[in-house]
Amino acid sequence: MSALIARLRDILQLRFTPIFGAMTPSALNTISPTHPLRRLARVLGYAGLRLVGNVFRPIRNPENLHGAVWLYVVSANNYDALHFIKHARPDAVLLAGQGKNIGRYGGVVNRLSLRRKLLYYWQYPLALVGLQRVVGRPALRFFDLVFYAIGYYEVYRRALRHYRPRAVVFSNDHNDDTRALLLACQTENIPTAYVQHASVSTNFPPLGFNLSLLEGQDALDKYRQCGPVAGRTALVGMPKADAYLARRNTAPAVQRVGLACNIHDPLPALLDTLAYLNQEFPDLVFTLRPHPSDARDYAPLRQQLPALQWSDARQQNVFDFLLAQDALVAADTSTHLEAVLLNVASLYYRFGTNALSDDYYGYAAHGLVPRADSLPALAALLHPLCQHKPADLYRRAAYYNATLGTPDEGHSQELALRVLGEWLG
């Protein structure tokens, strides 16, 4: 039983960190409702729709998973980060867990059956008691997240024994199902690789893959703070950005401003910011892009700001969004890095007040983006850019993207495929 508790503690690592528990109530409520009865309702819904429902949904994959290189994805962003491997290697298949929401790519990925997950829920009471002894109150506060995590490891071990993939490539290292598959691979001696899909933080689990393809020195430095780095690492830049680096923004002045937000950004603060900027800069065009997982009701904001343009992150690639902007205003999101790589003037402004997430990725501290701590300060940063936007802003990203300014710039996919091929070979 101690092995079960240790395993679940690893799988749910990020959920038991102080920064996760300190999220704003509105943000946390979308992941794990504040009221216990609502959490219980979600658990019952998950049990009925997912656990029991999966039993009656047969899996018919279009591709053969036996002996293949698995590209395991848990989101559309993961898909975007790994699909270049699929295009280059005939032995690679993209797949996700049964019922996992992969956004616009949900219908084109293979699925791993979770029908047997139901068989392992006898562990739940023991797991909850054991985790409470280890992590204390968070185990009970997040009893719903513990419930969801049960059975992934066992089901994935069974799948690995059945299909015997050549290797499993990940682009996420902290979701519960991802952690479970990684641990299952380690137990079954299946080689694992990791392709970074977004900026990382020091709250992430230690790197536990046989090969980790990181974007730059920033990621490696942060992972070293997370704990021992296992396996081999290589700095390959940002493969998903290759096709866009030659199309960097050359506008001499800012005319179009994008705002990126996620569930951590309170809607009232977003509205105040947009209203202020619209009044201060009446000649600029503003576009709001909520994160694809942000399901909040934006109808009131649309009504109050009818001139505001919108980007649907479920349909539009983040780089396509950024190519239509000259500047970006955002809080804690890796979109800052993607903007700077395209020479879009990016400004760090916090809509929320959570002290633990202040400059979460360290972008302001390392000089990637300037910081504004008030709306007048934000306007003071934006006004000069409306007169002149430098043409070399992208050079600030060298610490985050190892190929910037090298012969491999714009060829990160080729570099990553070469390293991956040598490792597999």
The answer for residues whose C-beta is within 8 angstroms of residue 297's C-beta and 6 or more apart is none
pLDDT digits 0-9 by tens, 341-398: 999 999 999 987 766 678 999 999 999 999 999 999 999 999 999 999 999 999 999 9
For 367: left if phi > 0, alpha if psi spans -120 to 50, otherwise beta; the answer is: left
The pLDDT assigned to 79 comes to: 94
Interval 297-321 mean pLDDT: 93
pLDDT above 90 for 273 = yes
The pLDDT assigned to 358 comes to: 87
Interval 49-57 mean pLDDT: 86
The pLDDT assigned to 208 comes to: 95
pLDDT above 90 for 103 = no
Domain 244-399 falls under CATH 3.40.50.620: no
pLDDT above 80 for 26 = no
CB 326 within 8 Å of CB 389: yes
The answer for residues whose C-beta is within 8 angstroms of residue 220's C-beta and 6 or more apart is 214, 229, 233, 235
What Cα–Cα distance (Å) separates residue 387 from each residue in 15, 253, 318, 382? 45, 5, 26, 9
pTM of the model: 0.91
Nearest to 345 by CA among 391, 311, 278, 406: 391
The pLDDT assigned to 21 comes to: 83
pLDDT digits 0-9 by tens, 134-151: 999 999 999 999 999 999
The pLDDT assigned to 190 comes to: 98
Nearest to 211 by CA among 187, 227, 226, 190: 190
The pLDDT assigned to 402 comes to: 97
Instruction: Tell me what percent of the residues of the chain surpass a pLDDT of 90.
Output: 83
The pLDDT assigned to 356 comes to: 66
Pick 291 or 156 by higher pLDDT: 156
The pLDDT assigned to 238 comes to: 96
Residue ranges of E strands in 158-206 = 167-170, 192-195
Work out the pLDDT band at 420, boundaries 50, 70, 90. Answer: very high
pLDDT above 90 for 18 = no
pLDDT above 80 for 55 = yes
What Cα–Cα distance (Å) separates residue 91 from each residue in 152, 168, 176, 210, 421? 25, 12, 26, 19, 12
pLDDT above 80 for 31 = yes
Query: Rounded CA gap, 307 and 285, in Å?
Result: 8
Write 135-144 long-range contacts (CB < 8 A, 24+). Answer: 135/9, 135/16, 138/15, 138/16, 138/21, 139/16, 141/21, 141/32, 142/12, 142/15, 142/16, 142/32, 143/39, 143/43, 144/32, 144/33, 144/39, 144/40, 144/42, 144/43, 144/46
Domain ranges in the chain are 2-242, 244-399
pLDDT above 80 for 11 = yes
The pLDDT assigned to 24 comes to: 77
pLDDT digits 0-9 by tens, 120-138: 999 999 999 999 999 999 9
The pLDDT assigned to 28 comes to: 85
pLDDT above 70 for 234 = yes
Which amino acid, residue 341?
L
The pLDDT assigned to 82 comes to: 96
Pairing mode, strands 309-310 and 110-112: unpaired
Alpha helices per DSSP H over 70-123: 76-88
pLDDT above 90 for 244 = yes
Mean predicted lDDT score pLDDT of the chain = 94
- 417: tokens are 């495929």
Work out the pLDDT band at 27, boundaries 50, 70, 90. Answer: confident
- 237: tokens are 């830049």
Question: In this structure, which CATH number among 3.40.50, 2.60.40, 2.40.50, 1.20.950 belongs to the domain 2-242?
Answer: 3.40.50
CB 54 within 8 Å of CB 155: no
Work out the pLDDT band at 54, boundaries 50, 70, 90. Answer: confident
Domains 2-242 and 244-399 share a fold: yes
The pLDDT assigned to 71 comes to: 98
Interval 186-204 mean pLDDT: 95
Largest Cα separation within the chain, whole Å, is 65
